[in-house]
Amino acid sequence: MRPAAGAGILALAAGALVLLTVLAFALGHFPLAPGDLAALVANKLFGASYAVAPTAETVVLQLRGPRILAALLVGAALAAAGTAYQGMFRNPLVSPDILGVSAGAALGAVLGIFFSQSVLVIQLGAFAGGLAAVGMVYAVGANVRRHDPILSLILAGIVLGTLLGAFIALIKYLADPYNQLPAITYWLLGSLAAVSPSDLALAAPFALAGLAPLYLLRWRMNLLSLSDDEARALGVPVGRLRLAVVCAATLMTAAAVAISGIIGWVGLLIPHAARMLVGPEFSRLLPLAMVLGAAFLLAVDTLARTIAPIEVPPGVLTALIGTPFFLWLFVSVRRAWQ
């Protein structure tokens, strides 16, 4: 892939994302005319004073706006974390969940729901649970001396994930089937329906704090796809770099999961799609993966709230839409899928 072609693809994807965002604002049970949207943007950003229906303003600022921003943020964060992990674990089947962040977050959230805590506490529980799970996995993996460090991490992640899954199952079994169980199921399916501006304000700094190191290290990330010996012989302190990436990816994923619940598939397949388009070179791959992740989740969430009278869980839609899209890419793009 020539750098120029990569930049062209990125520009194209970014353009599509902007269009999609405008479309997402316009669509919904309360349709907005493009004129109203333009007037609102002019009022809010440039201090103009066009007349806009108050309902339209509420829909855009309080309902659709936060939800759209959350879809963009969560999609980009999951895709970025997945991209980093697939490179680092040298395995295209890896998703951001591999070290237990989702399982930990799920247990944190489910405990919060079980003890009838506020939304804020549930979100904080999810965030803290995700960080704690990965912290434990990393501690176990780092203390295994006689095995391949990558394999140790993945095994520790799988084992701890299973344990956390057992706790979640136990709590679901004990939970009140009329009040708590639906809330738990709903959370585990993932949704952006209830995202408020304050949720966004809470999650965004953490997601950005996770993104910053990945972006800064974007060229060096390539070295993690080599064997440890090769990378070290090229002058890279592999252990420290890997720890930095794990911290960054975990922070992003935990922040995303805390406000959206568990939305699968984005972090696994968007990095593939991006890699098929621009190749594995991380500094070209990361921006495109983030744009595609944001666009994909926004498209899915917009569909989730518009195609049926009731909300469709986006986790179901990601699979329904993502699978054909991925298969189409897989069949039509010549480049090797690594």
Partner 1 sequence: MLEARDLGYGYPGRAVGRSLNLAVGAGEVLCVLGPNGGGKTTLFRTLLGLLEAQGGEVRLQGESLGALPRAEVARRMGYVPQGHAAQFAFTVRDVVLMGRTAHVGLFAAPGAADRAAADAAIEALGIAELAGRVVTELSGGERQLAMIARALAQGARALVLDEPTASLDFGNQVRVLREIRRLAAQGYAVVFSSHDPSQAFLAASRVLLLARGGAVRQGPPEEVITAANLREVYGVEVRVAAMDGARVCLPVL
Q: Which residues bind partner 1 (CB under 8 A)?
A: 1-2, 87, 90-91, 216-220, 222-223, 225-227, 229-230, 232-237, 275, 279-281, 283, 335-336, 338
Instruction: Please spell the DSSP secondary structure of 117-143, one letter per residue.
Output: --HHHHHHHHHHHHHHHHHHHHHHHHT
Nearer to partner 1, 44 or 220 (CB): 220
Nearer to partner 1, 2 or 29 (CB): 2
Q: Least distance to partner 1 from the beta carbon of 240, Å?
A: 10
Query: What one-letter code names the amino acid at 159?
Result: V
Evaluate whether 131 touches 250 at the Cβ level (below 8 Å).
yes
Measure the CA–CA gap between 152 and 100, rounded to whole angstroms: 13
Measure the CA–CA gap between 162 and 82, rounded to whole angstroms: 20
Q: Least distance to partner 1 from the beta carbon of 233, Å?
A: 4
Measure the CA–CA gap between 295 and 12, rounded to whole angstroms: 12
Instruction: Please spell the DSSP secondary structure of 206-258, one letter per residue.
Output: HHHHHHHHHHHTTTGGGGGGS-HHHHHHTT--HHHHHHHHHHHHHHHHHHHHH
Measure the CA–CA gap between 71 and 66, rounded to whole angstroms: 9
Evaluate whether 241 touches 220 at the Cβ level (below 8 Å).
yes
Q: Least distance to partner 1 from the beta carbon of 92, Å?
A: 8
Q: Least distance to partner 1 from the beta carbon of 8, Å?
A: 17
Nearer to partner 1, 179 or 227 (CB): 227
Q: Least distance to partner 1 from the beta carbon of 264, Å?
A: 23
Evaluate whether 7 touches 20 at the Cβ level (below 8 Å).
no
Query: Which residues, 6 or more positions from 187, have their beta carbon under 8 angstroms from its beta carbon?
Result: 106, 109, 110, 113, 122, 261, 262
Measure the CA–CA gap between 292 and 302, rounded to whole angstroms: 15
Q: Least distance to partner 1 from the beta carbon of 155, Å?
A: 19
Q: Least distance to partner 1 from the beta carbon of 85, Å?
A: 13
Nearer to partner 1, 18 or 333 (CB): 333
Measure the CA–CA gap between 123 and 133, rounded to whole angstroms: 15
Q: Least distance to partner 1 from the beta carbon of 216, Å?
A: 4
What's the token pair of residue 52? 């806009």
Nearer to partner 1, 281 or 311 (CB): 281
